[in-house]
Structure 1
Amino acid sequence: MNFERQIAYNFWANKRILEAIGASSKTMKDEELLTHFGHILHAQIIWYNRVLEVDEKVDAWPNLTFQECQNKLFGKASIDLNNMAQKASQLCSYTNSKGLSFESKVSDIIQHVIIHGQHHRAQIALLLRQKEVSPPATDFIVFTRQKDLQ
């Protein structure tokens, strides 16, 4: 599997949905949207910390501002996934949020992080639609079409 392409897609989709949140914040309260988006980013960081055995307390459901989300998107959260791809063939032993111990392939963790992000981007898209804001397309195939044109 080409993790670099999957990770590039994940960043592209996150960037598009955050741009939609930013544009919509001029007309609506965006706290719920930012909570979901912050969760996407912090889940990536949590998994990265597990893979690298970093003992850092990270809130899975943070209350972040738009600027904080933007800073994390273009900073730690994206760098983390790229670094994880280099360890894709390795195993990771970790303890989950309930204190249970597991061992997973890093490649499976990367796939989980990407699917998890898509799930929450879909929730954000639904919230935007409920407020009569048209969300951007974040489908993988849309990403491939745009990348193939470049």
Structure 2
Amino acid sequence: MDFQQHFALLARYNQWMNQKLLEVSASLPAEALSAERGAFFGSILGTFNHLLVADTLWLKRLGASPDHATALQPLDAIPLPARLDQQLFADLAGLAERRQWLDAIIIAWVDGLRGHDLQDGWLVYHDTRGQPHRKSLAGVLAHLFNHQTHHRGQITTLLSQAGADVGVTDLAMLVPEQPLPV
């Protein structure tokens, strides 16, 4: 599996897990989703919002690069979040719509990347404090997906505490089967 295939798998896993968590979350009343649960971003909805905020920040940084501007142009239509704990959506329906839209953009963008983009590509950007950075594209992409996994793990725990079962969450579910050697 090369870099591009690896990140394409992670993009599809990202979409699959986000959709799965949104579907399970939809089975709970709105009060359960917004209830303070002692998590870093407070509630199930607060944690989902944080993921949207962080993904939007990173994708807008990537979209500012001429190498990625065309593929990430749809993000030009939405404002840059102001804070990492910003509540972009107060309801699950609006949040789910944005999440699905963003995941489709991520998949299309990653599918358009080539091995040399990932091996030799760089992202130059300023963080939320205005500090300049230059990081490898592959490293930033690994962070994007790892960050999602980290906070989805928190959401899974919060859903479990609310009495909802998420089921299987393993990446291995999306790793293609290969024929066994004879």
* TM-score of the pair, normalised by structure 1: 0.83
- The 5 Å alignment of 1:29-108 reads 29-31=32-34, 32-53=43-64, 56-59=79-82, 60-63=84-87, 64=89, 65-80=91-106, 82-84=108-110, 86=113, 87-88=117-118, 89-108=120-139
Task: Please list every run of 5 or more consecutive structure 2 residues that lacks an aligned counterpart in the other structure.
Answer: 35-42, 65-75, 178-182
What is the Cα deviation at residue 66 of structure 1?
0.7
Percent identical: 20
Structure 1 counterpart SS, 2:135: strand
Provide the rounded CA distance (Å) in 2 between the counterparts of 1:23 and 1:41: 21
Return the index of the structure with the highest Cα Rg. 2
Aligned length: 145
Deviations 1:36-76 (A, max 9, x none): 11211221111111012169521433321211211112213
Change (3 A) 1:75 1:138: same
Confirm whether residue 6 of structure 1 aligns to residue 30 of structure 2: no
Deviates more, 1:117-126 or 1:63-72: 63-72
Find the residue that maps to 1:24 and give its secondary structure.
coil
User: How high is the TM-score relative to the length of structure 2?
Assistant: 0.70
Cα deviation, residue 137, structure 1: 2.4
Displacement of 1:5: 1.4
Return the offset for 1:82.
3.2
What CA distance in whole angstroms lies between the structure 2 residues aligned with 1:96 and 1:15? 29
- Relative to its length, the structure with more helix (as a share) is 1
Following the alignment from structure 1 to structure 2, what is the Cα–Cα distance between the partners of residues 136 and 118?
A: 15
